[in-house]
Amino acid sequence: MALRLRRSSAHPVHHLQPTAAGGARELDIPTNHAEPDPTLLGWPASDTTTPSRNCGPGTLTPARWSGRDLADAIRAAQPAAPSEPVLFTTDDEISEGSAKGASPAPGIVRRLHMEKTVEQPNHIETVIAEMDVDGEQHLIKFSRYHDNQQFWTVPGERDERIRGRHTDTVTEPEPDEYELYDLTNDPIEERNLAHPSNADDRSAPSSRRCSRC
């Protein structure tokens, strides 16, 4: 597995409004990177439901924001908002493509035959949601790492993977891998409950519920 992402769980959203009545407020719910824009636009009571999207010369098409507007929830005397599952997915193949950056490092790596395709599985589907654990609400994170055949050299048929001076051709995807964390008890994700060495009686039910979110 090539990488671990904590984008949804590790970055709080802060909004500073010195004139706000009632002083500082804190809203402890999962958020994602799509929510700051509609939330900031919501402070002056803007219409955050139909932003204009430029779809070509002379055209503006109404579209809905991807994230939630949390402004009203934060402004409330008792800040509150429903906790909704957060879904994060990525198919970012950083070792694929022909685009060239400004750094000379990739060219040097290729000339020295040190180039290597990022190990599969490296496509990620993650859901973060509040769930009942022994009668208490816990924040649970479940991730699936998979080898997405849509992004193969010949989608669904074969993929060519560079290994230094050699190129391997594969026709079968790598097995899926999983991560499961109780972020309430393990906020820095040190104990993967999906690993057999850490699994307990609650791991399998939590995984099944997250996969249905």
What pLDDT is stored for residue 206 in this prediction?
A: 61
Per-residue pLDDT tens digits for 2-59? 334 454 445 666 666 666 666 677 777 777 777 777 777 777 655 555 555 555 555 4
Q: Stretch 74-94: mean pLDDT, rounded? A: 76
* Residue-level pLDDT at 33: 72
Q: Which residue has the higher pLDDT, 122 or 200?
A: 122
Calculate what percentage of the chain has a pLDDT beyond 70: 58
pLDDT at 205 over 70: no
Distance linking the first and last C-alpha atoms of the chain: 24
> Which one has a higher pLDDT value, 176 or 74?
176
What is the model's pLDDT at position 79?
A: 65
